[in-house]
Amino acid sequence: MENSVRQKGGIDVSAGDERDYRHVELANGLCVLLVSDSEAEKSAAAMDVRVGHQSDPDHLLGLAHFLEHMLFMGTKKYP
């Protein structure tokens, strides 16, 4: 019986998933998961931020709330 999970780029994925996966840590400490699918006709991006208003700098109070709205509302140029 075939395993239902396998490793790709050090990441556990479904055994039937043919996409390429790569984990990258940027210089600023942000962790990024890149998923590449050569068969895809479109691209997408998602972001998970594990902080909130408790982490707002004193000089930028409300930053987390503002960015939350930017993530789900977008702008005219970037809907």
Q: Which residues are catalytic?
A: 68
According to DSSP, the residues that pair with 24 across neighbouring strands are: 32
Token output for 50: 């594990």
Give the three-class secondary structure for 2.
Answer: coil
